[in-house]
Amino acid sequence: GNSVTQMEGPVTLSEEAFLTINCTYTATGYPSLFWYVQYPGEGLQLLLKATKADDKGSNKGFEATYRKETTSFHLEKGSVQVSDSAVYFCSRRSGAGSYQLTFGKGTKLSVIP
């Protein structure tokens, strides 16, 4: 079945540090891939997406590249800020005609000044 595996947290970084959160997915077809972010007490917000192999999604300094060879979609940011503290979820679309997303368990990021 469809699944998404992301690195477990929590992750604690100092401000301006480099961030990587690993994510891999099961290779059933070529699903659209997403990173969502959840700030404390809020719902999920789309951070970035990629719809086909080798696409790079980017937003707010975050990037992730759709790697078909390694079935991965790792999230990176060169210099994190305190305001980036949140829970990050990797997800994949279940099928071409489906709106169902399968999510990873989430990675909590805390950035300290």
Partner 1 sequence: ETGVTQSPTHLIKTRGQQVTLRCSSQSGHNTVSWYQQALGQGPQFIFQYYREEENGRGNFPPRFSGLQFPNYSSELNVNALELDDSALYLCASSPAPGQGNTGELFFGEGSRLTVL
With beta carbons less than 8 A apart as the criterion, state whether 40 and 27 touch.
no
Pick 7 or 17: Cβ nearer partner 1: 7
Interacting residues with partner 1 between 9 and 48 (CB under 8 A)? 31-32, 34, 36, 41-46
Q: Is 51 in the site for partner 1 (CB under 8 A)?
A: yes
Q: Is 106 in the site for partner 1 (CB under 8 A)?
A: yes
d(CA 86, CA 96): 29
Shortest reach from residue 106's CB to partner 1, in Å: 5
- Using alpha carbons only, give the angle 64, 90, 15 rounded to the nearest 5 degrees: 65
Pick 17 or 85: Cβ nearer partner 1: 85
The span of 17-25, 60-68, 69-77, 90-98 binding partner 1 (CB under 8 A) equals 90-98
Q: Is 57 in the site for partner 1 (CB under 8 A)?
A: no
Task: Tokens for 72, please give them.
Answer: 């991965």
Pick 19 or 48: Cβ nearer partner 1: 48
**Tally of CA atoms within 13 A in the half-sphere of 44 that contains its CB:** 13
